[in-house]
Structure 1
Amino acid sequence: MKFSIGGSLKLAFRPWVEGLENIPAEGPAILASNHLSFSDSFFLPAVLDRKVTFIAKAEYFTSPGVKGKLTAAFFKGVGQLPVDRSGARGAGEAAIKSGIDVIERGELFGIYPEGTRSPDGRLYRGKPGGLARVALATGAPVIPVAMINTEKIQPPGKVIPKLMRPGIRIGKPLDFSRYHGMDGDRFILRSVTDEVMYEIMKLSGQEYVDIYATAAKRQIADAEKAAKDAEKAEKAAKAEKADKGE
């Protein structure tokens, strides 16, 4: 199913790729990518000959009805791995364990260090838990990846994608074997994560923002709420003046 989906995506969107030679023909590796769109997890596997396993919400695999079954089949077909996110810490540990299992099988593990999609196309601070811990626990090389223009193809909230060419830049593998077994040191985890994010920034050309994307999303939501509240208050004030004949 992966090849049929991948072939269809390549035929319809014609993604361009740079750095395919940096993907090993065999053996484990971690693909660390920026995250602009829901479609990122489909375009990257589509251009590779090898299977890439990403983490996905368990809800994608357990939704009821015909639509739920079709969604589950689709995600399984493109190599998505379900993880229960009902508890923040438990979800993180489950994702790390899943990543280590994939690496120990000698496969490619895909991860988004930002932890969530960028709300505005900029690159946000990487979370040090998942990526760095899997890398240091396994010794697998980390390959930085930059998705280009996928947010324009399928912006958040849009179901039907726009037909245009996305780009994918794949960087040279990063070796963190010097820190092998030091996955309990938070300063090392931070250093590894920041090094990977710097390489992603160079590949993508994105503006870097030194806060977490989740915090940025909260700020945007708060600003939008404040703007709506102010608009409502202004309308109420005008209505009150009108009632008074002012």
Structure 2
Amino acid sequence: MLYWLLKYVILGPPLRLIFRPRVEGLENIPATGPVILASNHLSFSDSIFTPLVVKRKVTFIAKAEYFTGKGIKGWLTKMFFVGSGTIPVDRSGGQAASAALDTQLDVLRAGGIAGIYPEGTRSPDGRLYRGKTGVARLALASGAPVVPTAMLNADEIQPPGQLIPNVKRVRIRFGAPLDFSRYAGRAGDRYVERAITDEIMYELMELSGREYVDAYAQKAKSQPARPAPA
């Protein structure tokens, strides 16, 4: 109930008025049945704008830190994510991350939409980074189509670390659904999982127009920032 209240009464109307979403390919999202929205990740606001423009409920996973912040800001952030049905994930890996994927698998088995960021974290510089194979495991286990979702300018609206977003028209592009039924019965095959993930990331590169980097974003964040182009 809180999800729909936020979307259509509290947050949705003013956000649509301010950011005037321009959406391409919305018809590529099936009207019924399980769907995986696999998106590049440019900004905190990605998890706000995507559910805003999709008619059906979208369930994302987000880092657990969003649910444990202190003060008014922390409480508001937690309430937003709880109300939007977002699932916390412990990014330290292992069984904690698997539990979050299992929960999203439950969403898909119930015929819902699961949103996921294959890069695992926000891009540190706007480029598209190597995808982690959790999205492939979801696709293989559920049989759901994967709709590549390109956030085109969310990093211009709310760059990492910026609390107040810039007022600018948000642009989102949904690609044609990807069917991986040809890999049925291959769950657990790491080569298949990597092939599926790479195919999804290629589609995201094409849709977004962003430069692709064959390295994990989390590793890139731990390295010194690259110099700006001359």
The partner residue of 1:19 within 25, 37, 43 is 25
Query: What's the offset of the Cα at 1:219?
Result: 1.8
Deviation digits for residues 112-156 of structure 1, max 9, x if unmatched?
Answer: 11111111111111111x100010011000000100111011111
Query: What's the offset of the Cα at 1:10?
Result: 1.2
1:211 matched to 2:177? no
CA contact (8 A) 2:90 2:97 kept: no
Distance 2:61 2:190 in 1: 23
Distance 1:63 1:124 in 2: 27
- Letter paired with 1:118: S
Q: Which has the higher helix share?
A: 1
Gap regions ≥5 residues in structure 1: 225-246
Query: What's the offset of the Cα at 1:29?
Result: 0.3
- Letter paired with 1:96: L
CA contact (8 A) 1:6 1:42 kept: no
Distance 2:198 2:65 in 1: 31
CA contact (8 A) 1:2 1:79 kept: no
1:198 maps to what in 2? Answer: 202
Query: What's the offset of the Cα at 1:28?
Result: 0.7
Query: What's the offset of the Cα at 1:57?
Result: 2.5
- Letter paired with 2:47: S
1:7–1:160 distance in 2 versus 1, CA, 3 Å: same
The partner residue of 1:80 within 70, 83, 86 is 86
1:241 maps to what in 2? Answer: none
- Letter paired with 1:175: D
Distance 1:14 1:220 in 2: 36
Distance 1:158 1:65 in 2: 18
Gap regions ≥5 residues in structure 2: 1-5
1:97 matched to 2:127? no
**What secondary structure does 1:88 align onto?**
coil
Query: What's the offset of the Cα at 1:67?
Result: 4.3
**What secondary structure does 1:219 align onto?**
coil
Task: Report the TM-score, using the length of structure 2 for normalisation.
Answer: 0.90
Query: What's the offset of the Cα at 1:24?
Result: 1.1
Task: Report the TM-score, using the length of structure 1 for normalisation.
Answer: 0.84
1:45 matched to 2:51? yes
Distance 2:169 2:178 in 1: 28
**What secondary structure does 1:172 align onto?**
coil
Query: What's the offset of the Cα at 1:78?
Result: 2.4
* Equivalences, count: 221
The partner residue of 1:109 within 94, 111, 114 is 114
1:69 matched to 2:75? yes
1:33 matched to 2:39? yes
CA contact (8 A) 1:2 1:77 kept: no
Distance 1:63 1:44 in 2: 23
1:173 matched to 2:160? no
1:11–1:71 distance in 2 versus 1, CA, 3 Å: same
Deviation digits for residues 186-206 of structure 1, max 9, x if unmatched?
Answer: 000000000000111110011
Distance 1:13 1:127 in 2: 30
Which segment drifts farther, 52-61 or 159-168?
52-61
